[in-house]
Structure 1
Amino acid sequence: MKKIFLTFAIALMGFTATYAQQGKKQQLTPEQRAEKSTAKLEKELSLTADQKQKVYAIELNKFKQNQDWHQKAKAERDQKKDLAMKGMKENREQLNKVLTAEQQTKLETIHKEKKRSHHGMKGKKRGLRADSTATKA
């Protein structure tokens, strides 16, 4: 009994230690990335001091451009998302002006069901649905 308990305790500690090491990676600045990349290239290619300075400048420029590109892309995604949400809100407001209270309730139920079923499909391959497998004649 003691051996089983001890084995279980050791295994639990091992899993805990492994899980604790899977923290978020620290984001490096473009300067830090360029320095790391240059050091690797210096080691692999035996760069001279002059070459090292030039390679560092090139790498720094590359990483700064990448950072700018990522920031622009994120801003564009956020802007598109905001625009889409605004459009959806306006659409719902227009629908609610036309529909009766009972129809609005039914539509809300349909939206919730669609959202729930869509949530269940996350991570799965989205192919043909079961009800649309019939071939066209």
Structure 2
Amino acid sequence: MKKAILTIAIAVMGLTAAFAQDSTKRVRKPMPKMTAEQRAEKATARLEKELSLTADQKTKIYAIELENAKKVDAFRSQDQADRKEKMKEGRATMQAQKAKIDAVLTAEQKTKLEAVRAEAREKGEKMRKGMGRRDRDKAPIVSNPPAQG
């Protein structure tokens, strides 16, 4: 009787340990490789949906987005030696792109776009704040602190 109970207890512990590991982790799908034209079309479609662009505005913004996407492709294919200088160039390119897009839009569309950009900045800040810092900033929780004496 003792052997049967001991065998069952060992089997239960073994099965518990075997099923304790979570093997149902979601696997991230790799991002599809898109051409510069596809990325420009996607960005233009997003702006068209959010800002209800006219046909003329859509073609101008597509041209701006396409030019930017080609610059990004060239930037990515370059050697990564002087990374800080390239980052400055990338920022300048982004600022120029924003200025060109703003020149095409009406005042109402500019305010909508600025609201979308502000929302994206907030979302990015929230994402950056949550990346692994919450555990390091807090003091460890002690459930049974030692007695002071």
* TM-score, with length taken from structure 1: 0.41
* TM-score, with length taken from structure 2: 0.38
Q: Specify which structure has the bigger relative contact order, considering alpha-carbon pairs within 8 angstroms and separated by 6 or more residues.
A: 2
Q: Which structure has greater helix proportion?
A: 1
